[in-house]
């Protein structure tokens, strides 16, 4: 008899597997999904190992297989184990990342009648038992649920158990089926004759309803119904416009069922490889030669950092590298930071690999995701594009993994277990499969760049923009010192420079973006006169203002100090300056620029689904001159009419109590600056700050990554921060603040004792302290930070009680 080590879908299972016997006649493979008895329940599990001997004496038998074929590929099994060990997550959480969508469903129990022995005396059965047996025999197979409906839950379960015990019936298990909803699309047609529609259009146009008129004219030219998507594209209409015409009885909308196709190829034209610059050619040649090399399992991976300024043609390298991989019979996975903001990436791949591109994202329905997963596993696609979770797509013959904008924080899953980083998982996956990894960025993560410097990754540089025609050069950046503004008597949120530039841009029919990093606003206290910000003497991080007690707190070590009345540096009384919000900014912009049409875009005004797109469309259609928003506007938008970007206060990002604040600021300013001058017009960026001499702001203004990196890595080394050490963050949350603090203090004592008894050198245990976001959804949070090396191994020995979360290599400490 053989035995299987099974990862079981139960919170009790944590990081271990359980031994089960394989019943005779059942063929079981590694990676196979099975039903196993666990306590008095039947749970899902995945077989991670087969052995001749069980790990414990008493084992139960596997109840049945869920699918005849292994559901995890051979390399995914060690990958899941690595994730569980490295990120200290329950094993099944790691396994679940790789299961098909909707897999975690309930088991349905079915009852069938066994062959009844000739000598069996049926009259020995009770009336109910005979009745049930007859019912099951007539139908061949009956679900337990159905029996429960006729007999009642308890009675049905009792009788079935009795029949099974007597050998008269058997149980089998199936998963609840997935019900995929059919996809429907809206089709528009005229409700009136074409001539009448044209008359109406003229009337509407006279009254200023230009887009309604355009849609009517467009529909009048069509011989058959047109999909809403096409009408949108051709006439710039939207749902409000359609609804208005439907309301007037001029247009009808019909829902038509369509075949699922995650990518609309309607607007995609095929493209051929572009000619490469010298730098692109040499980068591609190194990737190609790496694709040619045979790497055995567990050999060192081939990972590249492709560092190229915006517009240097990184995507073309991805495309041609993938073409090479496909030529060698391999396939790829491409990760993008946010699927909603990267339709261009999808379009590029779809135009080069038509109908061979799979897209995975959470906006697809369960049925769609399941279909896509199955088609990927069948090898129907050359490439899978998706957010971080797409790294777990069952792509066969994996040869290439691309992580675009690798510095983006969305690649780290921080809000639920396993708290993995897709980049580190990709590197591990490449080790297991022999695939080549390309990490692409204009502003690489400091840790990634350090690894490239150390030779862990091969560094490929694209220093020049690809300029097909005259092209658009990087925008000019001006840094404005807000202290000087105040000295000159300007108390407004707008510096004189920004004010003049805005007036000029709006008058010239151009567009402006005003950027306010609201996250962390009103949490630090800054001197408006000299820019001084209070920091913790021990941790070097910015102190956070707690308005309830009006004190400043270090959220790493819990150092507290009252708010000073005068600035310790310049003795000014203007110390208590708390920053500003988007609403206030909108108000002041309204007073200062009465002629400009304003549009606010932040999480308060874009709650509803699709409202992001609606705002974006409105701005793109030039229905507003000035867009006011938070970091969500910084990413990936291509707005050709924007010539001016104003950063209202760059210090908000700079003064987050986090060792990555400088890096965040540099990346953010780089991204924001990238929004200006994307069309044929020149771009200008104005950064307002109280700390104009700060290296992150200086480097961003000069578009100089090396300048930023060299300073940043020096500080990281001095302060023992990553990549020179590893961090782990332990958070305890509870509705009772005092209890939180006590639990955190107890955990700290425990960690200190463990460290001292094991004689672990160089392990810093910092805190406990209230977390930066002290209260989240009604629960208080306290945190302990560990700084050292091999933290997973250290922490794996310590039981983590309920209520704690452990984040290995947290992406941020705020």
Binding site for Zn ion (CB under 5 A): 527, 529-530, 532, 536, 538-539, 554, 556-557, 559, 567, 569-570, 572
Which of 684, 277, 371 has its CA nearest to residue 508?
684
The strands making up 642-647's β-sheet, listed across from edge to edge, are 476-481, 684-689, 642-647, 511-515, 626-629, 598-601
In angstroms, give the least distance from the CB of 694 to Zn ion.
16
> Quick one: 352 or 555, whose CB is closer to Zn ion?
555
In angstroms, give the least distance from the CB of 435 to Zn ion.
42
Which of 640, 624, 644 has its CA nearest to residue 499?
644
> Quick one: 570 or 719, whose CB is closer to Zn ion?
570
Residue with tokens 């052995």: 51
Task: HSE, CB side, 13 Å, CA atoms: give it for residue 530.
Answer: 12
In angstroms, give the least distance from the CB of 483 to Zn ion.
9
In angstroms, give the least distance from the CB of 495 to Zn ion.
19
Which of 699, 100, 137, 647 has its CA nearest to residue 394?
100
In angstroms, give the least distance from the CB of 652 to Zn ion.
18
Which of 609, 612, 607 has its CA nearest to residue 627?
612
Which whole-number Å values give the CA distances from 2 to 19, 28, 36, 123, in the listed order? 10, 9, 15, 40
In angstroms, give the least distance from the CB of 568 to Zn ion.
8
The DSSP bridge pattern shows strands 64-65 and 107-113 to be: unpaired
Asked if residue 593 lies in contact with residue 626, where contact means CB atoms within 8 angstroms, the answer is yes
> Quick one: 287 or 543, whose CB is closer to Zn ion?
543
Q: Return d(Cα 384, Cα 386) in angstroms, integer.
A: 7
Which whole-number Å values give the CA distances from 50 to 23, 43, 72, 279, 676, in the listed order? 13, 19, 14, 50, 58
Q: Return d(Cα 728, Cα 124) in angstroms, integer.
A: 66
The alpha carbon of residue 702 and the mean position of all alpha carbons in its chain are separated, in whole angstroms, by 30
Question: For the chain, what is the radius of gyration of the CA atoms?
Answer: 31
> Quick one: 59 or 557, whose CB is closer to Zn ion?
557
In angstroms, give the least distance from the CB of 400 to Zn ion.
44
Q: Return d(Cα 523, Cα 546) in angstroms, integer.
A: 7
Q: Is 541 exposed, middle or buried (0-12, 13-18, 19+ CB in 10 A)?
A: buried
In angstroms, give the least distance from the CB of 690 to Zn ion.
9
Q: Return d(Cα 504, Cα 511) in angstroms, integer.
A: 10
> Quick one: 306 or 543, whose CB is closer to Zn ion?
543
> Quick one: 85 or 540, whose CB is closer to Zn ion?
540
Which of 738, 784, 726, 386 has its CA nearest to residue 557?
784
Q: Is 571 exposed, middle or buried (0-12, 13-18, 19+ CB in 10 A)?
A: exposed
In angstroms, give the least distance from the CB of 540 to Zn ion.
8
In angstroms, give the least distance from the CB of 565 to Zn ion.
12
> Quick one: 73 or 649, whose CB is closer to Zn ion?
649
> Quick one: 719 or 795, whose CB is closer to Zn ion?
719
In angstroms, give the least distance from the CB of 573 to Zn ion.
9
> Quick one: 430 or 536, whose CB is closer to Zn ion?
536
> Quick one: 159 or 813, whose CB is closer to Zn ion?
813
> Quick one: 764 or 801, whose CB is closer to Zn ion?
764
């Amino acid at each position: 008899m053989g035995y299987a080590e099974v990862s079981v879908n139960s919170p009790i299972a944590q990081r271990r597997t359980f031994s089960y016997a394989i019943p005779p006649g059942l063929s079981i493979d590694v990676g196979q999904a099975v039903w196993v008895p666990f306590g008095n329940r039947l749970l899902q599990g995945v077989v991670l190992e087969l052995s001749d001997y069980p790990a414990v004496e008493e084992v139960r038998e596997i109840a049945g297989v869920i699918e005849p074929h292994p559901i995890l590929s051979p390399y995914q099994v060690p990958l899941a184990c690595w994730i569980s060990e490295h990120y200290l997550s329950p094993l099944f959480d790691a396994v679940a990342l790789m299961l098909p969508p909707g897999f975690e469903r309930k088991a349905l129990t079915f009852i069938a009648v066994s062959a009844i022995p000739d000598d069996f005396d049926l009259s020995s059965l009770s009336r109910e038992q005979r009745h049930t047996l007859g019912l099951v025999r007539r139908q061949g197979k009956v679900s337990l649920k159905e029996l429960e409906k006729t007999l009642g839950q308890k009675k049905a379960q009792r009788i079935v158990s009795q029949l099974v015990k007597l050998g008269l019936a058997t149980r089998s298990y199936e998963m609840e089926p997935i019900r995929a909803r059919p996809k429907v699309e809206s089709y528009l047609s005229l409700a009136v004759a074409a001539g009448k529609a044209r008359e109406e259009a003229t009337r509407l146009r006279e009254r200023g309803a230009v887009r309604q008129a355009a849609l009517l004219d467009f529909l009048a030219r069509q011989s058959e119904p047109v999909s809403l998507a096409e009408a949108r594209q051709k006439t710039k209409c939207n749902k409000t416009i359609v609804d208005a015409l439907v309301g007037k009885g001029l247009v009808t909308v019909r829902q038509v069922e369509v075949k699922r196709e995650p990518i609309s190829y309607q607007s995609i034209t095929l493209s051929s490889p572009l000619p490469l610059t010298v730098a692109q050619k040499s980068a591609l040649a190194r990737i190609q030669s790496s694709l040619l090399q045979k790497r055995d399992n567990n050999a060192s991976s081939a990972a590249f950092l492709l560092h190229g300024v915006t517009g240097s043609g990184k995507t073309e390298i991805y495309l041609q590298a993938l073409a090479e991989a496909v030529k060698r019979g391999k396939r790829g996975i491409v990760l993008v930071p946010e699927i909603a903001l990267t339709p261009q990436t999808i379009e590029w791949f779809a135009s080069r690999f038509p109908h061979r591109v799979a897209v995975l994202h959470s906006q697809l329905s369960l049925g769609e995701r399941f279909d896509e997963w199955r088609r990927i596993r069948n090898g129907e696609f050359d490439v899978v594009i998706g957010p971080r979770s797409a790294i777990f797509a069952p792509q066969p013959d994996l040869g290439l993994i691309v992580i675009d904008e690798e510095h983006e924080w969305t690649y780290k899953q921080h809000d639920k277990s396993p708290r993995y980083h897709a980049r580190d998982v990709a590197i591990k996956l490449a080790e297991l499969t022999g695939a080549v990894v390309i990490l692409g960025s204009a502003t690489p993560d400091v840790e990634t760049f350090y690894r490239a410097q150390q030779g862990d990754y091969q560094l490929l540089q694209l220093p020049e923009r690809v300029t097909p025609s005259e092209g658009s050069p990087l925008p000019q950046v001006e840094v404005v010192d807000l202290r000087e503004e105040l000295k000159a008597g300007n108390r407004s949120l707008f510096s004189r420079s920004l004010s003049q530039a805005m007036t000029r841009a709006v008058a010239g029919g151009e567009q402006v973006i005003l950027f306010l990093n609201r996250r962390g606003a009103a949490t630090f206290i800054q001197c408006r006169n000299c820019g001084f910000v209070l920091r913790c003497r021990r941790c070097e991080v910015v102190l956070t203002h707690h308005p309830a007690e009006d004190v400043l707190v270090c959220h790493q070590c819990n150092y507290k100090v009252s708010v000073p009345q005068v600035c310790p540096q310049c003795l000014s009384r203007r110390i208590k300056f708390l920053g500003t919000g988007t609403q206030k900014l909108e108000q002041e912009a309204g007073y200062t620029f009465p002629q400009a049409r304003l549009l606010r875009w932040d999480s308060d005004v874009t709650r509803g689904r699709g409202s992001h797109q609606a705002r974006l469309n409105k701005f793109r259609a030039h229905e507003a001159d000035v867009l006011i928003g938070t970091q969500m506007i910084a990413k990936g938008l291509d707005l050709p009419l924007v010539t001016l970007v104003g950063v209202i206060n760059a210090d908000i990002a700079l003064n987050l109590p986090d060792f990555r604040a400088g890096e965040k600021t540099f990346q953010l300013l780089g991204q924001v600056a990238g929004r200006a001058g994307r069309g044929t017009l020149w771009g200008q960026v104005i950064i307002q700050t109280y700390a104009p001499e700060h290296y992150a702001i200086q480097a961003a203004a000069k578009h100089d990554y090396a300048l930023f990196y060299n300073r940043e890595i020096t500080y990281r080394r001095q302060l023992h921060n990553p990549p020179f050490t590893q961090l782990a963050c332990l958070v305890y949350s509870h509705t009772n603040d005092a209890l939180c603090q006590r639990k955190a203090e107890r955990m700290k004592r425990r960690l200190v004792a463990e460290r001292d008894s094991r004689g672990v050198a160089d392990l810093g245990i910092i805190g406990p302290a209230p977390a930066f976001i002290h209260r989240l959804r009604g629960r208080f949070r306290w945190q302990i930070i560990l700084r050292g090396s091999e933290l997973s191994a250290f922490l794996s020995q310590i039981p983590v009680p309920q209520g704690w979360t452990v984040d290995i290599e947290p992406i941020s400490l705020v």
